[in-house]
C-alpha cells in the first residue's frame, strides 16, 4: 500500500470519528502522547484508559498511538533515554536491542525510570500540538462535508 493510499485510509477513518472537535482532539492528543513513551506493548491500553479518564475519544486515542511505528520507535526510545539521562544527570550506555517494556525493565530501574521520565517529557509538546491540529482538522473536514462541528458545551474559535 502506498503512502498516498495509507493517508486516504487515515482520513477515511478520521472522518468516521464521533463526537465534538474537543472530544476527538483530546483522544488524539492522549494517543500521540502515549505513543512517545517507552511503554510498548501497552500503548493502546494506556491511551484508551487516559482518554477515558480525560473524557476524550477512545477511538481517536487508539488511532493516535499509530504515531509510534517501526520507523519512529527507535527515535522515540533513544530520545526518551537521552532526555531522561540528561534530567537525572546520569550516563549509562544503552543497547537498543529490545522490543517490549518488560525487556526495558530488565535493563535496570535507573534506565527504566529515566526512559519513562524522558518519554513523558518528550510527549508533552507533540500531545499539545496534536490537540490543536486535530481539533482544527475535525472542524475543517466536517465543514467541508456539511456536518455540524459545534457541540452544546464546546465551540471552536
Please state the pTM of the whole predicted model. 0.79
Whether residue 28 contacts residue 58, with contact meaning beta carbons closer than 8 Å, is answered with: no
Among the listed residues 43, 25, 42, 26, the one whose alpha carbon sits nearest the alpha carbon of residue 34: 43
Position 2 in a domain: no
Q: Which residues of the chain have pLDDT under 70?
A: 92-107, 147-157
Q: Give the pLDDT confidence of 21-37 residue by residue, as tens digits.
A: 999 999 999 999 999 99
Position 157 in a domain: no
Position 66 in a domain: yes
Position 151 in a domain: no
∠ at Cα 75 (100, 98), nearest 5°? Answer: 25
Domain enclosing residue 76, as ranges: 7-138
Position 104 in a domain: yes
Q: Give the pLDDT confidence of 35-44 residue by residue, as tens digits.
A: 999 988 899 9
The gap between the terminal CA atoms of the chain, to the nearest Å, is: 37
Structural domains of the chain, count? 1
**Per-residue model confidence (pLDDT) at position 7:** 77
Amino acid at each position: 500500500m502506498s503512502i498516498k493510499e495509507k493517508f486516504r485510509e487515515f482520513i477515511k477513518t478520521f472522518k468516521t470519528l464521533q463526537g465534538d472537535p474537543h472530544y476527538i482532539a483530546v483522544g488524539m492528543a492522549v494517543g500521540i502522547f502515549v505513543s512517545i513513551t517507552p511503554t510498548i506493548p501497552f500503548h493502546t491500553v494506556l491511551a484508551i484508559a487516559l482518554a477515558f479518564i480525560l473524557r476524550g475519544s477512545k477511538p481517536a486515542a487508539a488511532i493516535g498511538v499509530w504515531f509510534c511505528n517501526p520507523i519512529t520507535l527507535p527515535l522515540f526510545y533513544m530520545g526518551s533515554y537521552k532526555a531522561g539521562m540528561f534530567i537525572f544527570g546520569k550516563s549509562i550506555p544503552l543497547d537498543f536491542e529490545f522490543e517490549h517494556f518488560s525487556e526495558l525493565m530488565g535493563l535496570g530501574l535507573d534506565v527504566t525510570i529515566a526512559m519513562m521520565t524522558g518519554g513523558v517529557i518528550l510527549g508533552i509538546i507533540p500531545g499539545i500540538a496534536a490537540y490543536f491540529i486535530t481539533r482544527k482538522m475535525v472542524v475543517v473536514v466536517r465543514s467541508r462535508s456539511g456536518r455540524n462541528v459545534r457541540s452544546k458545551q464546546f465551540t471552536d474559535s
